[in-house]
A and B are shown apart, each in its own frame.
Chain A
Amino acid sequence: MPEVLIQYQTEIWRSIGETFIMVGVSILAAVLVGLPLGTWLYLSRKGQLLENRAVFSVLNLVVNIVRSFPFLLLVVFLIPFTRLIIGTAIGTAAATVPLAIIAIAHYSRLVEQSLLDVPRGVVEAAVSMGASIKDVIFKFLYVEARSGLVLGLTTSIISFISYSTIMGVVGGGGIGDFAIRYGYQQFKTELMMYMIFIMLLFVQMIQFTGTTVARLIDKR
């Protein structure tokens, strides 16, 4: 084990923990809110089961706005909101707020895209069999789109890791922040490289797992 890693191991473990919290909350937000939101986006589109122009336009606009914000500006812009719900705008917990919001917007768009790939006829067959909207979603759409949903989540998670690296600006910590503060600003290039390597390892693992799972569950 290289000496710098031993010397800084407490900080490194802490920063890995912070990254896990930030990315973990992002994933939760993506699945619990982004998935339903993306499904609603899809269903409210023209020609779909819950077609509603007003609803679609509003959801579409909100998702676009959040996604087109330079992320750093979004973080700053959300400070009052973060303070309102977390009580402070500084720290790892506070950092999860803008991350959760971008995560929801990011994944909901990918969910919408995956659902659009489901042949329209499959939904039609479901409706002809007397399926309710809920049945259509859970027994047909999600079943048919499942590998796209998994691949989308994989892409999203990797983006979340990337977003989490700049949360140092609001004291969120994490591996990226550690690499910048210790590695870059204190000229410990070796340490910085190790941190980048750790991130790379995570990204590789996530991508590999996502791709493998998506392939295994795809019977199309």
Chain B
Amino acid sequence: MITLTNVRKQFGRDIAVQDVSLHVERGEIYGIIGASGAGKSTVLRLMNLLETPDAGTVEIDGALLTSLSTKQLRAKRHVIGMIFQQFNLVANKTVFENVVAPLRLAGRPRATHEERVLECLRFVGLEAFKDKYPAQLSGGQKQRVAIARALANEPHVLLCDEPTSSLDPNTTAEVLGVLKSINERLGVTIVIVTHEMDVIKQVCDRVTVMADGSVYETIDLVPSGVPAIDNNPAWFVDQLKKAGEADA
């Protein structure tokens, strides 16, 4: 689904990514983990050419991105969703307006917009919030709106840059649950960049460990699943006691 071949990216004299080759299979959830500054985000951003590689090629969903014209690249980006740590919603647009934006950009027939937006919002459980502004939502809700926005054009791939890194454990589980069901129910290939070990263990089928701009190792995993969580205070107490026992 995604193939990076010997890609290199340099910022001024700093080499952020050097000679990285990796392959993401169709339908899998692929993780990229590593220390801060290891080049994870840069690799992800190379996948939709938000960063242009200084060397190497990027192939995604059957298209050699590095050889496309600007216009072809834009068309391809319509079917490559992306979400971010900071959500990056347009604060002056309602939830509905945020999610309809990619449909407009892709030039989809106007008559289909409303239904599609509501369908995506229903998928992330936020249909009732369509007229709210991002400032009125919690972090987890904002990320779910961002996911709905990324899903609008029925992407084949979803790129996630630290999708849960500014969320608390409960909302992390909530967002991971949504990502998992996007992968299972919609068959979307997902790439998750994170520095959180638990995120990788819970949902990824494969993971690449990066260090100093290079691939350190790639390993197969059996995802442990997203833990069931609730907001019941008893749950917190339970978790705390468990952690205490584990330390003892």
Contacts and interface: CB of A to CB of B under 8 A. Distances in A.
Interface in B92-145: 92-93, 101-102, 104-106, 133, 135
Majority-rule SS of A interface residues: helix
A146 interface: yes
Interface string A123-144: 0111111111001000110011
B208 interface: no
A219 B92 contact: yes
B78 A130 contact: yes
Interface stretch (B80-88, B189-197, B210-218): B80-88
B93 A143 contact: yes
Contacts of B73: 130
Given A130-B76, A130-B106, A121 B88 contact: yes
A125 B82 CA distance: 7
Contacts of A32: none
B84 A139 contact: no
B88 A125 contact: yes
Contacts of B87: 121
Nearest to A129: B102
B90 interface: yes
Contact of B101 (A129, A218, A220): A129
A130 B77 contact: yes
Interface-centre pick from B50, B76, B91 (highest chain A CB count, 10 A): B91
A121 B149 CA distance: 15
A119 B78 CA distance: 22
Given A119-B88, A128-B50, 4 more contacts: A128-B48, A128-B82, A130-B105, A220-B91
